[in-house]
A = this chain, B = another copy of it.
């Protein structure tokens, strides 16, 4: 067990950089250099207080900084740990290709099982609603919409929360209004109903999660979300579905292939 001094060094009293930032710097360096690896426990607050000769609030400020940066997570009663990087799921831009729609399982399930993970879907809710202004504008201002909400989990960890909106006049009394819309999902049903899909628009934003999103996705502090809004258009140019997805950013890499036209 190397001494704390050899791992963290000491503070520079002549520096005008705040002490808690210097402590965070030392810890960050140690993590970057591999002195602490993913999942390792960092020195306890008490140990850092004694090592650097500062008060506990100063040490806590330093640790809070690392958590905001997404480098560390604290666990009450246990310690502060280097944040483990969960395996990421790669979303290819052809994930809605027709050739992926023939199977009975959802794209999420197929991909997850192929990657050796245990997929789950919960919070399934299907209901009719008045659309928000934004959703209504994207769908051509329907009075009401069908909303399909669900949460996706990998190996028990929630990673994504999605809501699909469809104009109610289009979805009412169809399999799309059922909790399970059948093989190939709602896109297969839409095509069967004569809405041949032409293209999708996807808008991507990144931001910090709301408190509700932190609860739903069990997000550690320092983990942003990716907010993806996809609109599906049929061959007549009508927007037939808007899917609003919030993803834990540490669980995803989005991948797009663009032709160089």
- In the bound complex, residues from chain B placing their C-beta under 8 Å from that of A3 are none
- In the bound complex, residues from chain B placing their C-beta under 8 Å from that of A6 are none
Cβ-defined contact, B250 with A198, below 8 A = no
A205 with B249, Cβ < 8 A, contacts A198-B260, A257-B199 known? yes
Cβ-defined contact, A253 with B199, below 8 A = no
Cβ distance A32 to chain B, nearest Cβ, rounded Å: 10
How many A residues touch B, CB cutoff 8 Å?
Answer: 47
Q: Find residues 173-231 in chain A having any chain B CB closer than 8 Å to their own CB.
A: 197-211, 221-226
- In the bound complex, residues from chain B placing their C-beta under 8 Å from that of A70 are 207-208
| A90 nearest CB neighbor, chain B only | B203
Task: Name A250's contact: one of B207, B221, B250 (CB within 8 Å).
Answer: B207
Cβ distance A56 to chain B, nearest Cβ, rounded Å: 12
Whether, in the assembled complex, A97 has its beta carbon less than 8 Å from a beta carbon of chain B, the answer is yes
Cβ-defined contact, B199 with A259, below 8 A = yes
Known: A203-B254, A206-B226, A224-B249. 15 other contacts (CB 8 A): A68-B208, A69-B209, A94-B261, A199-B257, A202-B257, A203-B253, A204-B226, A205-B249, A206-B206, A206-B224, A206-B225, A207-B250, A232-B260, A256-B256, A256-B258
* 27 A-B pairs whose Cβ atoms sit less than 8 Å apart in the complex: A57-B57, A68-B68, A68-B208, A69-B209, A70-B207, A93-B258, A94-B258, A197-B260, A199-B257, A199-B260, A200-B260, A201-B257, A202-B255, A202-B258, A203-B255, A204-B204, A204-B253, A204-B255, A204-B256, A205-B252, A205-B253, A206-B206, A206-B249, A207-B224, A224-B224, A232-B260, A256-B256
